[in-house]
Amino acid sequence: MCREVDCLVTGATGFLGRAVTAGLLKSGASIRCLVRESSSPLAFPTLCDLSGRPPRTQIFQGNLLSPTHVARAVDGARVVYHLAAEMRGLSATIFSGTVVGSRNLLQAILRARPQRVVLISSLSVYGLANVHPKNLVTEDSALDEHPEKRDVYTHAKLWQERLFQEYLTGSGIELAIVRPGYIYGPANKHLPPRLGLTLGGILLKASPGKYLPITYIDNCADAVIFCGTNKQAAGEAYNVVDEDPPTGGEYLERYRRIARRPRAVRFPFMVFSVLSYLNQLGNRLSAGQIPVVLTRYKAACAWRGHQFSSQKLKCLGWRQPISTEEALALTFPVPVSPTASEQPVSMPLRNTA
């Protein structure tokens, strides 16, 4: 039997994983990280820098696809934070890494019986194709019934959520599901997918005037840890989006501080419908040789400017530690120049509360 630890973190070397482990260590918790065997210690510098590793950090090198590795990792952990997921690669890689890996973890969890499990899911699990953009999306909104019409990542994340509910409901093990918006920060300055579709280096902006469901990395990590430690958080799912978010256009303007590309063109949603139709027509004409990357269903879910609420988490007492203005400034700093230092650029953000 392994030495007991407060928390097990899977996916500890990822963008969110590094922030969550750093936050847990800061809070004084002892943690165990399950990392791939191919990961080098350089991939998780926060663990080494903050704690000097032993005695509060254990690093288990292993694979979620190996039930033996997973069983060893879960053994003796009081809270399991499951952050690991395959986000890129072929469909089979995404499914095996995300869903099969989760199933292995759940089987180990039922044997080891930790007190609580926190699953990191995604806002993409909601079924928004037939939801009017004026309707606020809350945790009570329906989940997508046809994720296969969207993309493999969404499909795998929904499957993963379903597995966690199936395995842990009635097991006596607490489950909290966190559904973050797009996570950004200095180490991830990409454009949120809900901003639009990038084709051949050109961003086709969708609903640029709508607020983006995004969350700053440190805010998201704080919410994840809150869901692992707050007594009332068990048994529910929570959206995590920051307050006072920028609109798509405002985010893009900030982004322009660090990158010129891609060029952006604004299109009404109707254009996405036409592009979807053309893509599907091309797929039929070429007998499947042109892949379907865009469907009307997918476009309706992603680019109609739906707004998400994280009120439920706030009702439990959680507050985002870093304001959106500060987070954006940290992510997209104003370029240093003589004129800029004298006249700092400020971008007022509307309050959505």
Phi-psi region of 136 (alpha: psi -120 to 50; beta: other; left: phi over 0): beta
Cα 151 from Cα 180, distance rounded (Å): 18
Q: How far is the CB of 327 from other proteins (least distance, A)?
A: 31
Q: Which of 176, 179, 180 is nearest to 235 (CA)?
A: 176
Q: According to CB under 8 A, which residues from 47 to 76 bind other proteins? A: 63, 65-66
Binds other proteins by CB under 8 A, chosen from 2, 15, 27, 36: 36
- Exactly one of 286, 311, 341, 343 binds other proteins (CB under 8 A); that residue is 286
Q: Provide the minimum distance between the beta carbon of 230 and other proteins in the complex, in angstroms, as a whole number.
A: 32
Choose which of 18, 116, 155, 304 interacts with other proteins (CB under 8 A): 155
Interatomic CA distance for residues 319 and 322, integer angstroms: 9
Pick 64 or 206: Cβ nearer other proteins:
64
- Cα–Cα dist 249/210, whole Å: 8
Distance between CA atoms of 158 and 126, rounded to whole angstroms?
A: 9
3-state secondary structure at position 111: helix
Bridge partners, residue 214, by sequence: 182
Q: How far is the CB of 63 from other proteins (least distance, A)?
A: 6
Asked if 89 is part of the footprint of other proteins (rule: CB under 8 A), the reply reads yes
Instruction: Note whether 142 binds other proteins by CB under 8 A.
Output: no
Would you say 40 or 346 has its CB closer to other proteins? 40
DSSP 53-99: STTTEEEEE--TT-HHHHHHHHTTEEEEEE-----SS-HHHHHIIII
Closest C-alpha to 128, from 140, 113, 143, 149? 143
Of the candidate spans 8-16, 77-85, 283-291, 332-340, the one that interacts with other proteins by CB under 8 A turns out to be 283-291
| Residue 343 binds other proteins, judged by CB under 8 A | no
93 makes contact with other proteins (CB under 8 A): yes
Smallest distance, other proteins to C-beta of residue 94, A: 9
**Largest CA-CA distance found in the chain, in angstroms, rounded:** 63
Question: Per CB under 8 A, which region of 1-9, 76-84, 152-160, 303-311 contacts other proteins?
Answer: 152-160
Which DSSP symbol is given to 193? G
Residue 95 sits in the site that holds other proteins (CB under 8 A): yes
Choose one: 1-9, 35-43, 303-311, 317-325; the region binding other proteins (CB under 8 A).
35-43
Q: Which of 27, 96, 107, 230 binds other proteins (CB under 8 A)?
A: 96
Cβ neighbours, 10 Å, residue 277: 13
* Angle between helix 324-331 and 248-255 (nearest 10): 30
Q: Does the footprint of other proteins cover residue 330 (CB under 8 A)?
A: no
By CB under 8 A, residue 323 contacts other proteins: no
Q: How far is the CB of 15 from other proteins (least distance, A)?
A: 17
Residue placing its CB nearer to other proteins in the complex, 92 or 315: 92
Q: How far apart are CA 87 and CA 81, in angstroms?
A: 17
For the bound state, the minimum distance from the C-beta of residue 115 to other proteins, rounded and expressed in Å, comes to 27
Binding site for other proteins (CB under 8 A): 36-38, 40, 63, 65-66, 88-93, 95-96, 99-100, 103, 148, 152, 155-156, 159, 285-290
